[in-house]
Amino acid sequence: MPWRESSLMSERLAFIQACLGRTERIVDVCDQFGISEKTGHKLLRRFREEGPAGLADRSHAPHHQPHRMSAAVAARILALRKNHPLYGPVKLRDWLQQHEPALPWPAASSIGALLQRQGRVRPRRRRRAAGAGLHGGTPATTPNAVWTADFKGEFRLHGGPYCYPLTVLDLQSHFLLGCVAKPSTAVGSARTTFQHLFQAYGLPVAIRTDNGVPFAQPNALGRLGALAFWWVSLGIRPQHIAPGRPAENGAHERFHKTLKAATTRPAAASFAAQQRRFDRFRREYNTDRPHASLPHHCPPAQVYDASPRPYPRRLPALVYAPGTDLRLVSGQGFIRWRNHAVFLSSNLAGHYVGLTESETDLFTVAYGPLALGELDPILNRFTPRVRWVG
């Protein structure tokens, strides 16, 4: 005959039948079924109160959940999310803890579950891991060690011209130094914005950018344009990420996604209106919005301090070692060397460069702290090799 299959429910029913018709002690019946006397009495009590249904498994969840989110807390979180629709669970919790610390706010995971139940979140797309970091870049260990700058992708104002937002961030504190609506990426306009930032916050050690105009010129000496050489004259080190590697300026690229979502959907109708949006966003971003990369997720303004290097009223003279031979760069970008014209860069027109003889009998050509390359005095040939030596 086939084996008879047994289930937990059938075993419990058999135990009840054995108890009801027993001629022996209940503790002995429990031993036969391999359960404790306490469990046996519990099953008997349930059977008498509820019948066979009382023998089924019950939920082990506690009857009272002390950490369950109250309706008032849920309503406060949803109201904050409505005011800041771009804040995720972590940022919502950080904001609440910083502005309303007297209340015990739930974990970010609980806030995320609430938003999901309420249909307030969209599934995120999986993103590829970022590429390798910048090789030899200045470490951003303090405020103003590295500023990052970029022109966010252009967009058309509502029924009007294109807008090119110029954004400048302090890499260490994530403080938004400037966000300016521009009609183009022209060098002169960008220089004016940087001059205002230098006057307000002082000079950084380095400025990191991509290789686009006006920060770089692909075919120029060291890819340095007039704007970069102006920075060098102020003692600021220009840094370019590797071509085609935007991940090397990943923090700035990620910031642009936040800026776009908060200020350009839809775009304003004029430059003035769009600038007012940028200004409101900048105030919130710096002083109110928690930042996950900072201590205690505080806003950037609580970390940032202005640079101790003020912007000079007059452009300082570049410093060269004693014995350096100074040569004026012509309007076409040439210097004269032993009755020969040697081309350097038209972006240096009207400036002096220094020539210093090296141990290899070559002359190092430098613009202040920036070495530009080597000049062969026999072949009258200049070989570019741009590097920072100051």
Q: What is the pLDDT of residues 7-59, one digit of tens each?
A: 778 888 888 888 887 778 888 888 888 888 888 888 888 888 888 888 887 76
Q: Measured on CA atoms in the order 19, 21, 25, 31, is the torsion positive or negative?
A: negative
Half-sphere exposure of residue 123: CA atoms within 13 angstroms, side-chain side: 2
Which backbone phi and psi does 94 adopt, to 5 degrees?
-60, -45
326 CB neighbour count, 10 Å cutoff: 11
Amino acid letter, residue 288 = D
Q: Which of 310, 316, 146, 304 is nearest to 240 (CA)?
A: 146
Determine contact, residues 148/169, Cβ cutoff 8 Å: yes
- DSSP tag of 224: B
Determine contact, residues 230/349, Cβ cutoff 8 Å: no
Q: Identify the band that residue 124 occupies on the pLDDT scale cut at 50, 70 and 90.
A: low
Cα 298 to Cα 141, 174, 288, distances in angstroms: 17, 11, 8
Name the average pLDDT for the chain: 86
d(CA 207, CA 145): 9
For the beta sheet containing 352-357, the strands, ordered from the edge strand earlier in sequence to the opposite edge, are 325-328, 352-357, 363-367, 370-376, 381-388
Tens of pLDDT, residue by residue over 62-119, are 655 555 788 888 888 888 888 888 888 888 888 988 998 888 888 888 888 888 888 8
Instruction: Count the residues in the chain.
Output: 390
Q: Which of 388, 30, 372 is nearest to 236 (CA)?
A: 388
Tens of pLDDT, residue by residue over 150-164, are 998 889 998 789 999
Determine contact, residues 222/372, Cβ cutoff 8 Å: yes
d(CA 155, CA 269): 12
Contacts of 83 (CB under 8 A, 6+ apart): none
Q: Is 319 helix (H, G, I), strand (E, B) or coil?
A: coil
Say whether pLDDT at 135 is over 80: no
Determine contact, residues 167/252, Cβ cutoff 8 Å: yes
Q: Is 150 helix (H, G, I), strand (E, B) or coil?
A: strand
| Burial (CB count <10 Å: 0-12, 13-18, 19+), residue 333 | middle
Determine contact, residues 331/343, Cβ cutoff 8 Å: no
Q: How open is the CA angle 26-28-31, to the nearest 5 degrees?
A: 115
Q: How much helix, strand and coil, in percent to the nearest 5, is found in the chain?
A: 35, 20, 45
Determine contact, residues 148/252, Cβ cutoff 8 Å: yes
pTM over 0.85: no
Q: Identify the band that residue 143 occupies on the pLDDT scale cut at 50, 70 and 90.
A: very high
Say whether pLDDT at 384 is over 90: yes
